[in-house]
């Protein structure tokens, strides 16, 4: 159980008036979620929950004036979810950028491809070989576009006009 205390919302604030509770007792709250509105000497502020859990009890009601640091609510903190029992360690796969792109386009997991490049690096040829061995269709590569050069007339720069 954790207490939600009246925060100091500006440097000169000594007490604040609770304007409105945005959550009711029994509601779930997330860390950073707005729980209530407090009025200081100069303005109103939205107060966020510093915890994730359930708002168990509201100690101070709307309209009450509360000193800074005084408990205004009780939040039952949610237990952190336990990590999955079998976590597969993430291994860095060395592959060339073109091999990564080609494998993604063909839907091939690089973990299944054996690298023959320097240091076991996966190359484009390794991905193509894997695709051929497993009957994965390789799309035809479009020929490069032909570049047509036009004659350019150069005009000497005559200065600023």
Q: What residue has token string 């009957």?
A: 135
Q: How many residues does the chain have?
A: 161
Classify residue 147 by burial, with Cβ atoms within 10 Å: 0-12, 13-18, 19+: exposed
The whole-number pLDDT of residue 156 equals 80
The predicted pLDDT at position 106 comes to 87
Say what the pLDDT of residue 82 is. 53
* 153 found inside a domain: no
Same structural domain for residues 21 and 67?
yes
Coil vs helix vs strand at 161: coil
Of the three residues 77, 108, 124, the one that is the final residue of a domain is: 77
Residue 73 lies in a domain: yes
Angstrom distance (rounded) from CA 55 to CA 143? 65
pLDDT at 79: 73
Say if residue 35 is in the same domain as residue 102.
no
Q: Are residues 12 and 43 in the same domain?
A: yes
pLDDT tens by residue, the chain, 161 residues:
888 898 887 788 889 899 999 999 999 999 889 999 998 888 888 888 898 999 999 999 999 999 989 999 999 987 755 555 555 566 778 889 999 998 898 888 888 888 888 888 999 999 999 988 888 877 776 677 787 888 888 888 777 66
Please report whether residue 108 resides in a domain: yes
Give the pLDDT confidence score for residue 88 in this predicted structure: 57
CA nearest neighbour of 20 among 75, 61, 69, 71? 61
């Amino acid at each position: 159980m954790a207490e939600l205390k009246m925060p100091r919302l500006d440097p000169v604030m000594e007490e604040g008036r609770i304007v409105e509770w945005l959550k009711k007792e029994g509601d779930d709250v997330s860390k950073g979620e707005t729980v209530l509105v407090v009025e200081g000497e100069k303005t109103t502020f939205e107060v966020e929950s510093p915890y994730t859990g359930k708002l168990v009890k509201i100690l101070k009601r709307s309209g009450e004036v509360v000193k800074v640091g005084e408990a205004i609510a009780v939040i039952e903190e949610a237990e952190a979810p336990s990590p999955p029992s079998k976590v597969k360690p993430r291994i860095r796969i060395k592959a060339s950028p073109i091999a990564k792109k080609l494998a993604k386009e063909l839907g091939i997991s690089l973990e299944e491809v054996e690298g023959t490049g320097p240091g076991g690096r996966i190359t484009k040829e390794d991905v193509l070989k894997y695709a051929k061995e497993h009957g994965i269709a390789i799309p035809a590569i479009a020929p490069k576009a032909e570049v047509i050069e036009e004659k350019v007339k150069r005009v000497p720069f005559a200065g600023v006009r």
